Amino acid sequence: MDDLSKGAAWIKGQIVPIAKATIGVTDWAVTHSDVTYDVVPVWNGAFFRLNDYLERFQASITASHMDIGMDTDGIAIALHEMVGKSGLKNAYCAMVAARGTPLIPGSRDPRDCGNHFYSWCVPYIHVVKPEIAEQGVKIWLSEDTRRIPPDSVNPLVKNYHWGDFTAGLFEAKDRGFETVLLPDHAGNVTEGPGFNIFCLKGNSVSTPSKNVLHGITRRTALELCQEAGFEIAERDLSIEELMQADEVFLSTSGGGISPVSQISDRVFSNGTAGPVATKLRQQYFDLLDHPDYRTKVSY
């Protein structure tokens, strides 16, 4: 019996230990980063907002001109079977649509590729370590790297094009920061590797609307802010406005809502986690256990 406790993968209908999961070296997923994907969290033995993640994944598949030969129900069955067999009660669960290998050898036409689906899960990943998130994340606002323009790569389709994020992470890590936030070419902020950013000023919470993934955790954060009585704005957010915020926080499927204590040289909340963001963080984790958002896994 294979040990799946470190992670499992669903490949061509088979469930294997994640260390044994492979795809071909000539798959365009590898050679061209020609992939769309999504990540749904599993918490205390249940998927969180599974239908919302599946809906967005299907929209991304359509936008990518792929046909993986599976409908939403089939994808859900694969995810349930994989996580169930892994035994993981808290997991980071990815679903992937890949362009595949050309069915006509040597073809450069993407329509000739055999699109396919695979998925994998590992023990829950925190984009920001919990102990850091609880103290407040220190983020570097990149000075050298700009976000890929949306007319080059559609940010609404979750993808593997991380050249800009990786360059920005080197900037941040070399300066002692936890992660990076990328601006666009017009002086507005966009997003970071795996997270959306939020700005709290007075009774208003703003988050960028353009050149960002409209994340499901982003949606959850906006809903929580609205329920708390804040005015919500999805719009262009300038660097200057962000730096004048009362509080800043980020959202990610890998860890929920995290307060930000510093962006480059600007310190927020006296260098600690702000009270509003701290409360929102706890509300997010409470919501993970709300029955209206949970789809239980059969183990």
Q: Work out the pLDDT band at 14, boundaries 50, 70, 90.
A: very high
Which top CATH class is 130-287?
alpha beta
Model pLDDT for residues 224-263, shown as the tens digit of each residue? 999 999 999 999 999 999 999 999 999 999 999 999 999 9
pLDDT at 1: 67
Above 70 in pLDDT, residue 187? yes
For residues 40 and 121, is the Cβ–Cβ distance under 8 A? no
**Cβ neighbours for 10, distance < 8 A, ≥ 6 positions apart:** 78, 79, 81, 82, 118, 119, 120
- Kindly state the DSSP code that residue 202 receives in the 8-state scheme: T
Above 80 in pLDDT, residue 27? yes
What is the average pLDDT score of the chain?
97
- Return the CATH number of 8-123, one of 3.40.50.20, 3.40.50.150, 3.30.470.10, 3.10.129.10: 3.30.470.10
| Selection from 225, 222, 158 nearest residue 194 by Cα | 158
Residue ranges per domain, the chain?
Answer: 8-123, 130-287
Say how far apart CA 167 and CA 158 lie, in whole Å.
19
pLDDT at 2: 83
| Selection from 73, 87, 68 nearest residue 15 by Cα | 87
Structure token pair of residue 120: 């994998």
Q: Work out the pLDDT band at 79, boundaries 50, 70, 90.
A: very high
Q: What is the mean pLDDT of residues 20-25?
A: 95
| Selection from 168, 188, 163 nearest residue 178 by Cα | 168
The residue ranges of DSSP E strands in 150-238, in sequence order, are 179-181, 191-192, 195-201, 204-208, 231-235
For residues 99 and 27, is the Cβ–Cβ distance under 8 A? yes
Handedness of CA 169, 204, 129, 86 (dihedral sign): negative
Element (H or E) spanning 174, and its range?
helix 163-174
**What pairing do the DSSP bridges indicate for beta strands 256-263 and 247-252?**
antiparallel
Say how far apart CA 35 and CA 164 lie, in whole Å.
17
Q: What is the mean pLDDT of residues 52-62?
A: 98
